[in-house]
Amino acid sequence: MRDNAKVLVRQVGLPRIIIAGFFLLLLVAAGGFQMDLLQLCSDFLRRWGMYGVLVLAMVPAVQCGIGLNFGISMGIVGGLLGGLIVVEFRLASIPALVAVHPLLAQWVGILIAILIGVVLAAGIGWLYALLLNRVKGSEMTVTTYVGFSVIAFMNILWTILPFQSGELIYPNAGQGLRNTISLADSYSGVMNNTFAITIGSLTIPTGLLLFFFLMCLLVWLFMRSKTGEAMSAAGANPNFARANGINVNRMRLVGTILSTVLAAVGILVYAQGFGFMQLYNGPMMMGFTSVAAVLIGGASPRKARISHVLIGTFLFQSIMALALPVANQFIPESNLSEVMRLIISNGIIIYALTQTGGGDRE
Q: Indicate whether 168 belongs to any domain.
A: yes
CA pair distance 196, 256, nearest whole angstrom = 34
Is residue 49 within 8 A of residue 209, CB to CB? The reply is yes
User: Is pLDDT at 19 greater than 60 in this prediction?
Assistant: yes
Question: How big is the CA angle at 228 (ends 227 and 230), to the nearest 5 degrees?
Answer: 65
Q: What is the pTM of this model?
A: 0.91
Among 31-35, 126-130, 159-163, 265-269, the least confident range = 31-35
pLDDT value at residue 25: 83
Looking at the domain assignment, is residue 20 inside a domain?
A: no
CA distances from 47 to 31, 162, 212, 271 (A): 20, 33, 11, 11
8 domain-assigned: no
- What range defines the domain where residue 51 resides? 37-354
For residue 295, the domain's CATH number is 1.10.3470
Q: Is 5 a domain residue?
A: no
- Directed axis angle between helix 336-354 and helix 286-296, to 10°? 70
Residue 71 lies in a domain: yes
- Is the pLDDT assigned to residue 292 strictly greater than 60? yes
pLDDT digits (tens, 9 = 90+) for 327-343: 777 666 555 556 666 67
pLDDT in tens, 232-272: 999 999 999 999 999 999 999 999 999 999 999 999 999 99
6 is a domain residue? no
Q: Which tens digits make up the pLDDT trace of 163-175?
A: 988 889 987 766 7
Q: How far is CA 123 from CA 127, 129, 258, 345, in A?
A: 7, 10, 11, 30
Quick check: 362 pLDDT over 60? no
CB 163 within 8 A of CB 76: no
Q: Is residue 266 part of a domain?
A: yes
Domain contains 347: yes
Q: Give me the chain's average pLDDT, please.
A: 87
User: What is the total count of domains within the chain?
Assistant: 1
What proportion of the chain, given as a percentage, has pLDDT over 90?
Answer: 60
The per-residue pLDDT for 352 is 61
Give residue 20's pLDDT.
77
Q: What is the pLDDT of residue 358?
A: 41
